[in-house]
């Protein structure tokens, strides 16, 4: 039986699971609130053992027919899926800016078009996955990329639509069937994704959504021996737990985790450009995994850089993310507000200096001022740990060697930014130990390029062929000459 649809900012959205092509209600539900004004948005289904089992059975049942199709046969389904996402663009924007606090402008111009591309690009790229013949002295090899089976996709609240489609696109295009476990603090766009898949005519069981908490529903999904892969984006703590649970069944996991990425400003940097980009790190209230959050600035230009960046930060528009002009929105959850403020308060108590911000923002209960903290040691917790809020740190260095050493001086290794004369900045960037780094730019992403972190920031790579390597069983059929 279906639950009544929720009415969220005039968008009708189901609070139920989507299993085997049907909406499935749950006797157990949880409350959802908007981070903007703490308004209750409704009650969402909690996935029990029974729902997890039903979803896995539906996905297993759909697998033989879906995986037996060629990539060319699957492509029209996926193209329609993307079209159906496009038809619901306004609803996706309204829902995610309301339940996750993602900026409406970012949803409209970035996330929704990218979600569509995540599906169509991989549907197209899968055509290159056809058998790849290889000749050696002794034999003909037919290298096949076979779908792995049932894939569990688990995503965080800061970018539910973008990250879910980033995983579902390649997983489905390669012939897997999928179960998506949305983030419990921002589950609405993932529910709408099920409507889009249904309208696109994806066969029942190919794509399923089981709502619920991580500790309950998520844990049950990743512990099940019938699944073939777990694709996870989220925190290091959860990743360690998932890797153990899935590892008990030798189920491979792709883990995209947190970051503490350096933002290096060399002596020969264009300081105004660097400062303008620096202020972008506050977008989405700093709840962006790939943001450069540790500013490392050459001591000779630090004063000028700080003045330039202060100018940009003062102009930032803090407010309701549903207003297109807003640049800094709310923090996702009251618990997260306390966590972020804790970092600031402890740093202050330890003698750090706040260059700007440092307090809650008057706009609302879940708002924190864009903050910059300086006078820090490399081993201070605010330098070492991911804050995931509008809180940046600034340290100075005297030469490239020291900059690289500081950049590499945490357990994280996700991304980075390096501003300077292009050849110089490129040389320094190559010495920074991360999965990716932008030179004189920020946020350029290409679906064909590898994406992922090293050290505590992750295991594996997504993007282009890397996604398919993960979601496929590579098989060598050897025919002697
Ligand atoms: P989280 O780890 O708390 O939760 C992520 C997801 O895992 C949620 O859907 C949650 O329900 C689920 N989960 C929690 N416990 C689970 C368990 N035991 N078994 C299975 N699933 C479980 O992370 P979060 O707070 O939602 O997200 C913020 C984190 O995500 C930050 O560290 C951020 O850097 C990271 N992140 C990384 C990337 C990237 O691409 N590297 C992108 C976005 C966010």
Atom of ligand 1 nearest to the CA of 386: 32
CA distance 147 to 152: 14
- Model confidence over 43-74: pLDDT tens digits? 999 999 999 999 999 999 999 999 999 999 99
Residue 355 reports pLDDT greater than 80: yes
The H-or-E segment that residue 178 falls in is strand 177-181
Taking 90 as the threshold, does the pLDDT of residue 191 lie above it? yes
Average pLDDT over residues 375-393: 98
Considering only CA atoms, which residue is closest to atom 12 of ligand 1? Answer: 214
- Any idea which residues carry the catalytic annotation? 256
Written as six digits, the tokens of 164 are 């879910």
Distance from residue 233's CA to the centre of ligand 1 (Å):
5
pLDDT per position as a tens digit, 199-209: 999 999 999 99
Distance 422 CA to ligand 1 centre (A): 35
Residue 169 CA to residue 115 CA, distance in Å, equals: 9
For residue 129, the model assigns a pLDDT of: 82
Q: Measured between alpha carbons, how far is 400 from 382 in angstroms, rounded to an integer?
A: 23
DSSP lists the bridge partners of residue 44 as 30
The string of pLDDT tens digits covering residues 236-260 is 999 999 999 999 999 999 999 999 9
259 lines ligand 1 (CB under 6 A): yes
The SS3 of residue 313 is: helix
| Spacing, Cα 162 to ligand 1 middle (Å) | 14
State how beta strands 207-209 and 177-181 pair: parallel
Q: What percent of the chain has pLDDT over 90?
A: 97
Identify which of 235, 242, 285, 290 to mutate to test ligand 1's pocket (most ligand atoms within 8 A of the CB).
Answer: 235
Asked if residue 276 has pLDDT above 70, the reply is yes
User: To the nearest whole number, what is the mean pLDDT of the chain?
Assistant: 97
Q: How many CB atoms neighbour CB 93 within 10 A?
A: 25
Assess whether pLDDT exceeds 90 at residue 130: no
Residue 345 has pLDDT above 80, yes or no: yes
Nearest to 207 by CA among 81, 345, 368, 333: 81
Closest ligand 1 atom number to CA of residue 245: 19
Asked whether the predicted pLDDT for residue 187 surpasses 90, the reply is yes
The stretch 424-434 carries a mean pLDDT of 98
Nearest CA to ligand 1 atom 43: 289
For the chain, the helix, strand and coil percentages under 3-state DSSP, each to the nearest 5: 40, 25, 35
The pLDDT of 375-390, averaged and rounded, is 98
Predicted confidence (pLDDT) at residue 155 exceeds the cutoff of 70: yes
pLDDT of 134: 87
Q: What's the angle, vertex CA 239, arms to CA 15 and CA 17, rounded to 5?
A: 15
* Among 132-136, 140-144, 384-388, the least confident range: 132-136
* pLDDT at residue 347 tops 70: yes
Does pLDDT of 323 surpass 90?
A: yes
- CB 415 near ligand 1, within 6 Å: no
pLDDT at 1: 67
Alpha-carbon distance 113 to 161, whole Å? 11
* pLDDT tops 80 at residue 24: yes
Average pLDDT score over residue span 13-26:
98
Q: What is the mean pLDDT of residues 333-353?
A: 98
Indicate if the pLDDT at residue 119 is higher than 90. Answer: yes
Q: What is the pLDDT of residue 158?
A: 97
Q: Does the pLDDT of residue 132 top 80, yes or no?
A: no
Q: What is the pLDDT of residue 382?
A: 98
The mean per-residue pLDDT over the stretch 194-215 comes to 98
The two three-digit tokens of residue 244, written as one number: 């153990």
Judged by DSSP in three states, 385 sits in: coil
Work out the percent of the chain whose per-residue pLDDT is above 70: 100
pTM of the model: 0.97
């Amino acid at each position: 039986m279906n639950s009544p649809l929720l009415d969220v900012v005039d968008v009708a959205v189901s609070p139920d699971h989507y299993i085997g092509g049907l909406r499935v209600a749950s006797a157990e539900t949880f409350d959802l609130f908007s981070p903007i004004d703490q308004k209750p948005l409704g009650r969402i289904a909690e996935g029990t053992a029974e729902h997890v089992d039903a979803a896995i059975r539906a996905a297993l049942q759909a697998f033989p027919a879906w995986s037996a199709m060629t990539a060319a046969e699957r492509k029209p389904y996926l193209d329609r899926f993307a079209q159906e996402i496009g038809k619901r663009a306004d609803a996706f924007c309204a829902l995610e800016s309301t339940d996750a606090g993602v900026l409406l402008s970012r949803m409209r111009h970035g996330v929704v078009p990218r979600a569509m591309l995540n599906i169509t690009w991989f549907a197209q790229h899968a055509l290159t996955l056809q058998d790849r013949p290889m000749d050696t002295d002794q034999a003909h090899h037919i290298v096949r990329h076979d779908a792995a089976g049932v894939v569990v996709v688990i995503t965080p609240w800061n970018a539910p639509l973008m990250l879910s489609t980033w995983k579902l696109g390649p997983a489905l295009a390669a012939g897997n069937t999928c179960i998506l476990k949305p983030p419990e603090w921002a589950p609405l766009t993932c529910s709408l994704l099920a409507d889009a898949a249904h309208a696109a005519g994806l066969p029942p069981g190919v794509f399923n959504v089981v709502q619920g908490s991580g500790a309950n529903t998520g844990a049950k999904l990743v512990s099940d021996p019938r699944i073939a892969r777990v694709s996870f984006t989220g925190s290091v703590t959860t990743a360690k737990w998932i890797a153990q649970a899935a590892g008990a069944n030798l189920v491979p996991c792709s883990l995209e985790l947190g970051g503490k990425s350096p933002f290096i400003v060399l002596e020969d940097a264009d300081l105004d450009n660097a400062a303008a980009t620096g202020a972008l790190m506050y977008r989405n209230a700093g709840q962006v995994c790939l943001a450069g959050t540790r500013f490392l600035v050459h001591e000779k230009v630090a004063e000028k850089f700080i003045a330039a960046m202060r100018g940009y930060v003062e102009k930032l528009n803090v407010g309701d993310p549903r207003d297109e002009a807003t640049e800094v929105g709310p923090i996702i959850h009251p618990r997260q507000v306390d966590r972020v403020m804790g970092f600031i308060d402890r740093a202050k108590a330890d003698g750090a200096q706040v260059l700007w911000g440092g307090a809650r923002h008057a706009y609302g209960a879940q708002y924190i001022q864009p903050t910059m903290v300086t006078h820090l040691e490399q081993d201070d917790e605010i330098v070492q740990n991911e804050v995931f809020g509008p809180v940046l740190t600034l340290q100075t260095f005297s030469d490239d060697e020291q900059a690289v050493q500081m950049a590499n001086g945490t357990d994280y290794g996700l991304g980075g930014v390096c501003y300077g004369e292009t050849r110089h900045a490129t040389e320094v960037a190559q010495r920074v130990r991360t999965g990716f780094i932008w030179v004189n730019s920020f946020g350029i992403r290409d679906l064909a390029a590898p994406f992922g972190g090293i050290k505590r920031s992750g295991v594996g790579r997504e993007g282009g062929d890397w996604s398919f390597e993960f979601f496929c069983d590579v098989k060598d059929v050897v025919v002697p000459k």
